[in-house]
Structure formats: C-alpha cells, structure tokens
C-alpha cells in the first residue's frame, strides 16, 4: 500500500448495512488493513482508506440487524479498535421494510450488544419517522412506548429523524400509494399532531432513562427537550474513550471548526468528519424509504454477486485517489 495515511473515524456505513450483509468482507479488510471505496459520484475513481488500528480513531457501525457481526467483535477487541453501534428499531410493516427481521429478534440483538459493550455504545435510532394514514401519531407513540420499555436500561440515547424527500425513494413510495393505499404526509414537520408526537416521545424516553436527540433536522425541538445531535459524535467518542484527550489527531478533528462539520453531509447534519466505507445500491433490506438505493429492484438483486474477498464491497478497484 502506498500513499498518505492519517487517523480518521470510520463510518460503516450510512450507505449500506455492513454489519448485516458485509461482515465477512469487513473483517477481511480489517485483516488486510485497508479497504477501497469507489467515489459515489464518479465510481471509476476509488480511494484507499486505512483500517489499521493505529490509523482508526473509532468505528461507528450503522445497522438494522447487526447480529451477523457479533461473532467477529472479539477480533476488533483484540486489535484494540474503538467502536459503537447506531441500531435502528422502527417496527414498520413489510410494505415499508420488507426484509427487516422481526422487532423482537432485533431487540434481543440490541440487548446482547448492550450487555457486551455497555449502554453508552449502543444507540437506539427511531428513524425515519414516516407520517401517513397507516403510520400516524398514535402508531409512533405506541411503538416508541413499546420499544423504550423493551430497551430500558440498555441504552442512554434515542435518535429520531423525519423522512426526507429524496428522488431515489419517490418511485417506491408512489407505488405504495396505489397499493396498499398509503397517503404520506408531504411535510411531516408541519403535520397535525406533531406537538403530541414529539412531547410524547420525550416523555416516554425520559421514563426509560433516555435522552432524545434529533438527526439532521433544521427545526429547533428544544421546547420538547430534544437536542440537535450528531451520530458521528466526537464528544461521545471522547467520553467513552477519554485517552483520546491526549491524541493530537483526534483533538484536531474534534476542535478544528473546519474539520468538525462533515462537508459531505446535509447542511443540518452535525456529524464530525469521517470516512464512510459503504457503497450505494448494495443494501438488501429493501426499505421503501431508503435514500441509498435507487430504482425498484428486488432486495436480493442489489450486489447479488458480492465476493467477500474483494477490496471494496462491489469489486476490486484500481486506486486513483488516496485519502489522508
């Protein structure tokens, strides 16, 4: 491997569910000490990201079902990697989440991770919040109440966000309007019952010892005691691993105002800069609202020829860029 290297945070991944579908690939890349990532805008260009323990400040895993990765966590621990999980539990029906396992199974996985890693390293995401004739305020309040009780004592944070209007999701959601007859709110943040929903979420979360944060929302939700949050959170990382107080690279990332806000994310996103090693159009959950898959393929058709021996998720790459 050639080129410049530097310490960084790994996001694994906003673009696909690596713990669920690409755990074997990820662990092979950990063994090799690097992975390749095609540029999302120019796929013929690829850049190298170091996965050596000395170059990785922390790993943030995003998943709806991280169960397949759990047997590999001991390897990450032996190599002294720092990592935590953002775990999404929504409990939507099969029309919106056709290939996501049942809630009870995923709660069991959440509890297993929490028992192993600690409640500060497994974060509950309830997102996106979709308001419709089938998933109204009462639906969400019932689900948040149910899940918060199931997770009581197993986490400290609840992260919420509302569905955004992406062109990639339009065809899939439009198909649900005709059959089975969804009527989606065009602007969830101005929908009827929003005050009841947000106040109720906060009340239920507090009852289970959770602090509620919003994800990439422009609106100020402070009156509901909901803070604007960051999912790639340098302050949380520093709190969990205080030895990073003496790491110059982490402090540069954490304190430098030019690095603290990730320029590759939406304007309202407060995440610190990270290297995302996922790829679009590779997740197989098949969620109708997914912003990282385009078209209307069947879930199993996305990256169906994947080989865990590749240096990127979708194939071996020719290195054209090097990430510091």
Evaluate whether residue 1 is within a structural domain.
Answer: no
Query: Is residue 322 over pLDDT 60?
Result: no
pLDDT of residue 259: 54
Mean pLDDT estimate for the chain: 92
Tell which residue, 207, 199, 249, has the closest CA to residue 225: 199
Evaluate whether residue 185 is within a structural domain.
Answer: yes
Query: Is residue 256 over pLDDT 60?
Result: yes
pLDDT band at 264 (very low <50, low <70, confident <90, very high): confident
pLDDT band at 313 (very low <50, low <70, confident <90, very high): very high
CB 30 within 8 A of CB 76: yes
Question: Mind listing the pLDDT tens digit for each residue in 147-202?
Answer: 999 999 999 999 999 998 888 888 889 889 988 899 999 888 888 999 999 999 99
Query: Is residue 58 over pLDDT 50?
Result: yes
Q: What is the largest CA-CA distance in the chain?
A: 57
Query: Is residue 323 over pLDDT 90?
Result: no
Evaluate whether residue 275 is within a structural domain.
Answer: yes
Evaluate whether residue 58 is within a structural domain.
Answer: yes
Query: Is residue 117 over pLDDT 60?
Result: yes
Query: Is residue 266 over pLDDT 80?
Result: no
What does the pLDDT average to over 123-151?
97
Query: Is residue 35 over pLDDT 50?
Result: yes
Question: Mind listing the pLDDT tens digit for each residue in 36-57?
Answer: 999 888 878 899 999 999 999 9
What is the domain range of residue 291?
8-322
pLDDT band at 319 (very low <50, low <70, confident <90, very high): low
The three state secondary structure string of the chain is: CCCCCCCEEEEECCCCCHHHHCHHHHHHHHHHCEEEEECCCCCCCEEEEECCHHHEEEEEEEECCCHHHHHHHHHHHHCCCCEEEEEECCCCCCCCCCCCCCHHHHHHHHHHHHHHHCHHHEEEEEEEECCECCCCHHHHHHHHHHHHHHCCCCCCEEEEEECCCCHHHHHHHHHHHHCCCCCECCCHHHCCCHHHHHHHHHHHHHHCCCEEEEECCCCCCHHHCCEEECCCCHHHHHHHCHHHHHCHHHHHHHHCHHHHCCCCCCCCCCCCCCEECCCCCCCCCCCCCCCCCCCCCCHHHCCCCCCCCCCCCCCCCCCCEECC
pLDDT of residue 258: 52
pLDDT of residue 164: 87
What does the pLDDT average to over 233-237?
94
Q: Which residue has the higher pLDDT, 140 or 45?
A: 140
Evaluate whether residue 3 is within a structural domain.
Answer: no
pLDDT band at 257 (very low <50, low <70, confident <90, very high): low
pLDDT of residue 315: 93
Number of domains in the chain: 1
Evaluate whether residue 274 is within a structural domain.
Answer: yes
pLDDT of residue 4: 44
Query: Is residue 61 over pLDDT 70?
Result: yes
Query: Is residue 301 over pLDDT 60?
Result: yes
Query: Is residue 253 over pLDDT 90?
Result: no
What does the pLDDT average to over 240-246?
95
Evaluate whether residue 252 is within a structural domain.
Answer: yes
């Amino acid at each position: 491997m050639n080129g410049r290297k530097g310490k960084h945070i790994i996001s694994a991944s906003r673009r696909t569910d690596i713990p669920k579908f690409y755990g074997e690939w990820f662990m092979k890349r950990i063994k090799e000490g690097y992975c390749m990532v095609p540029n999302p805008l120019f796929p013929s260009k690829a850049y190298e990201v170091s996965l050596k323990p000395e170059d990785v400040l922390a790993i943030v895993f995003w998943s709806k079902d991280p169960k397949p990765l759990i047997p590999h966590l001991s390897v990450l621990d032996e190599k002294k990697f720092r990592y935590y999980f953002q775990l999404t539990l929504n409990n939507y029906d099969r029309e919106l989440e056709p290939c996501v396992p049942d809630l009870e199974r995923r709660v069991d996985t959440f509890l297993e991770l929490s028992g192993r890693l600690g409640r500060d390293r497994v974060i509950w995401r309830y997102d996106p919040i979709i308001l419709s004739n089938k998933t109204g305020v009462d639906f969400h309040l019932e689900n948040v109440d149910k899940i918060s009780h199931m997770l009581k004592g197993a986490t400290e944070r609840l992260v919420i966000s509302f569905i955004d209007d992406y062109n990639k999701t339009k065809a899939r959601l439009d198909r649900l309007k005709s059959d089975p007859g969804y009527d989606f709110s065009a602007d969830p943040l101005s929908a009827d019952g929003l005050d009841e929903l947000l106040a109720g979420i906060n009340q239920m979360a507090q009852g289970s010892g959770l602090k509620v944060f919003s994800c990439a929302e422009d609106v100020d939700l402070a009156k509901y005691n909901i803070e604007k949050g960051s999912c790639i959170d340098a302050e949380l990382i520093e709190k969990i691993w205080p030895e990073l107080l003496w790491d110059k690279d982490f402090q540069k990332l954490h304190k430098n105002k030019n690095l603290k806000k990730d320029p590759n994310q939406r304007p309202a996103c407060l995440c610190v800069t990270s290297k995302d090693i996922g790829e679009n159009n590779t997740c197989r959950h098949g969620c109708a609202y997914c912003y990282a898959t385009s078209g209307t393929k069947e879930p199993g058709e996305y990256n169906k020829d994947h080989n865990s021996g590749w240096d990127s998720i979708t194939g071996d790459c020719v290195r054209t860029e090097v990430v510091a």
